[in-house]
Each structure stands twice: as C-alpha cells, then as structure tokens.
Amino acid sequence: MQWRAVHEAETTDSNWQEFRPRPQRVTPLETLGRLFWNPRWNETLYLVSLSERLTLEPTEHSEREIKTLLARHLHMVEPGIERLQFRLVFVRREGGDLIEEITHLSEPFTASGIIR
C-alpha cells in the first residue's frame, strides 16, 4: 500500500510513499522477541488482507479500516498531515516480467476525522 499527503494546490500524481517500509535487516534478538510480541507486523498483515478484500470484493468496511490504520499510524509518526490519499499496488509475474497494477485509488480524506 502507498500513501501521500494531499495539498490543495497539487495537481500532479506524485509523492507516493510505501506504507511502513520493512527494515533492511532484523537481528536474531529482534527475531526472537517478535515470536512473542509482533503487534505492528500483524496489523500490517491485516492491512494486506484488507487490501486483497478491497481489490477482490470491495466493501465500505475494508476501505474504512485501511483509512483508520493509515491515519492512526501517520498521526504517531508524522503528525500534522491533514489530508491523505492511499492506493493499492499489486505486483504479479507475467512470464519473465513483473507487472505492477494499481487496483484501488482512494479519494482524498481528512485524517483527523476518522482516528478512533
């Protein structure tokens, strides 16, 4: 999933960022700890499920959940962002090539209004 902050004057389709990019490496000690405590990663896996649901069988619940998780996360790591947008990018193999396809593009939404 990718997201971007939306500014009113902006007209270009740019500044998309990957949501929660994975770290370059995870140490053995961190790996051991994650066996017992891994809430952030499991929430990210839930987000993957929601993305698949939104692509295959769109529901208001899936879209609302993704918006809430995105807004809540950004509220913690990058407070001050008012309007947001997300898109789902699926990668698949066709023969020897990897094909990227945008399967969903949300409308811009106000972050502060949906954080529970």
Q: Which residues bind another protein (CB under 8 A)?
A: 22-26, 31, 34-46, 48-49, 53, 59, 61-62, 91, 93, 98, 116
Q: Report the residue number, 4 or 63, with the smaller CB distance to another protein.
A: 63
Nearer to another protein, 6 or 52 (CB): 52
Contact 67, 83 (CB under 8 A): no
In DSSP terms, 110 is beta-bridged to 83
Closest distance to another protein from the beta carbon of 111 (Å)? 16
8 A C-beta contact, residue 84 and residue 115: no
